[in-house]
Amino acid sequence: MQLEEFLENSARTYPDKVALVSGDQRFCYRQIDDEANRVSHALIRAGVERGDRVVIFLPNSVEAVVSIFAVLKAGAVFVVINPTTKADKLAYVLNNCRATAMITAEGKLGSMSACRDDTPYLRSIAVVGPIQPYIAEIESAGKKLISFDEIRTRVADSQPPVKRCIDIDLAALIYTSGSTGRPKGVMVTHLNVISAATSITAYLDNVPDDIVINVLPLAFDYGLYQLLMMFKVGGTLVLHDSFAYPYVVIEKIIQEGVTGLPIVPTISAILLQMNLAKYKFPKLRYISNTAAALPVEHIRKLRTAFPHVKIYSMYGLTECKRVSYLPPDQIETRPTSVGRGMPNEEVYVVDELGQRVGPGVVGELVIRGSNVMKGYWELPEETANRLKPGPFPGERVLYSGDLFRSDEEGYLYFVGRRDDIIKTRGEKVSPREVEDVIYRLEGVGEVAVIGVADPILGSAIKAVLTLHSEATITKQDVLRHCSANLEDFMVPKVVEFQTTLPKTESGKINKRALTEVPQEV
């Protein structure tokens, strides 16, 4: 089976059922499937071949949904990029995966113009919105410009193209922050995604009557899976672009009769600041949380505010999508646990020699299952650090890099990370990536980026800098430079200048000392 069949099967079974609600618009399964067929034919005509990577650089929208399935139908690999990505990183990703096509929107062409000459592999760009003003510029860079609005309505292309893939072909690259500072492309096959989606929809008891609201970016695997899982079961996805206006989301939940609300701890922190007692959510069946553990206090308050709602506390990694979930009936008993492995997956804790350890012993968590990725795109060394030999000859299992312990009944408890990746509002940020950007600013001596506890964000990003003696830059200059070069969630919340940074014995910046003793000058 291939991933696009989630849509194709539902379009066959429920052609007129609402698949997607986006803003005021509603789209049934047949419409989405027809449009995805049309766009896939256009991609093939533009030269996209089986296994080619196609970057989707769009906000949460019906166009993004159609594009994901169109790329799959064309036999290609979709790569969804956060819509706040800036030109440098966009060019990095386009070149790193050697994307031959990109689907974006008119408003994003500004980011594109900065890198149009530095992306030699990119041959075609499909654009949502008017293309006329950009044709000369893009075509002078040797690329073909395609009107998305035109191809999605070409009735002659409504039948699906001939299938060219098998289920061990790649379906997607999902870029995630790496400790080296450059994002890594997590390679997932059709089988990986179908396996994860099958297990998750099984424990969430998803049914065609489910209506799930997604406020998370589709570039984030947790957001992406809300779409894939609803299309798998023939449910309805209410696609929203952010949680910026919580009341608007709450109104949507009530209006649309939403049954599933996926959140990250930042969203629960914002929700719990509201007077939730005023609203009624009779249809809401479950709230799922991942990205970082829900504070016990949040769990308690969510249970009070949503007494009839099941709360799923979960833990995941892009490298295998989901690691574990806590059955809702266990949340009172073990609120700090992230639960156990999901159906058709095995998870266990090992010591430094890779031997399984017993309850109570801290070790690295290992994941075994058909949901585990194939590796990081063209990074054999980093792949070998994560995918190591498993129980059977030739088998590879995923070493999470995170430290856990389990209790007597096998429930898992997160202990800590082995790297210095910061989790802020549920997204992973590599301190190195932010530091590299700040180092490019004239006058900066040394930089250390750390995470500091924040009630809403989980961890807030803090940059501590020293400046050259003649430098005149201000904190605002640093922030402006960061916001021009980094995705929104990576921009530091706090900038601090110091005369020197503490060092370890080996002369490296001592981040632990910075976290413990802040010294503002």
Partner 1 sequence: MQTLSNTMTVADDIRQFVTDNFLFGKSADLVDGESLLDRGVIDSTGVLELIQFIEDHYGIKVEDEEAIPQNLDSVTCLTNYVRTKLAAIA
Binding site for partner 1 (CB under 8 A): 84, 241-248, 250, 266, 270, 274-275, 278, 425, 456-457, 476-477, 479-480, 483, 488-489
Nearer to partner 1 among residue 141 and residue 456 (C-beta): 456
Nearer to partner 1 among residue 192 and residue 290 (C-beta): 290
DSSP-assigned letters across all residues of 443-486: TEEEEEEEEEEETTTEEEEEEEEEE-TT----HHHHHHHHHHHS
Nearer to partner 1 among residue 94 and residue 267 (C-beta): 267
Place of tokens 């609201």: 213
Q: Minimum Å distance from CB 474 to partner 1?
A: 8
Nearer to partner 1 among residue 270 and residue 415 (C-beta): 270
Q: CA-to-CA distance for 313 and 299, rounded, in angstroms?
A: 9
Q: How far is CA 28 from CA 11, 155, 157, 238, 473, in A?
A: 8, 17, 18, 12, 53
Q: CA-to-CA distance for 34 and 235, rounded, in angstroms?
A: 18
Nearer to partner 1 among residue 160 and residue 217 (C-beta): 217
Q: Minimum Å distance from CB 302 to partner 1?
A: 17
Q: Minimum Å distance from CB 242 to partner 1?
A: 4
Torsion-angle region of residue 245: left (phi > 0), alpha (psi -120 to 50) or beta? beta
The CB density around residue 244, as the number of other CB atoms within 10 Å, is 10
Nearer to partner 1 among residue 107 and residue 359 (C-beta): 107
Nearer to partner 1 among residue 58 and residue 331 (C-beta): 58
3-class SS of residue 174: strand
Q: Minimum Å distance from CB 244 to partner 1?
A: 4
Q: Minimum Å distance from CB 111 to partner 1?
A: 10
Q: Minimum Å distance from CB 485 to partner 1?
A: 12
Q: Minimum Å distance from CB 267 to partner 1?
A: 9
Q: Do 409 and 421 form a contact (C-beta atoms < 8 A)?
A: no
Q: How far is CA 32 from CA 11, 36, 244, 272, 430, in A?
A: 8, 6, 27, 35, 36
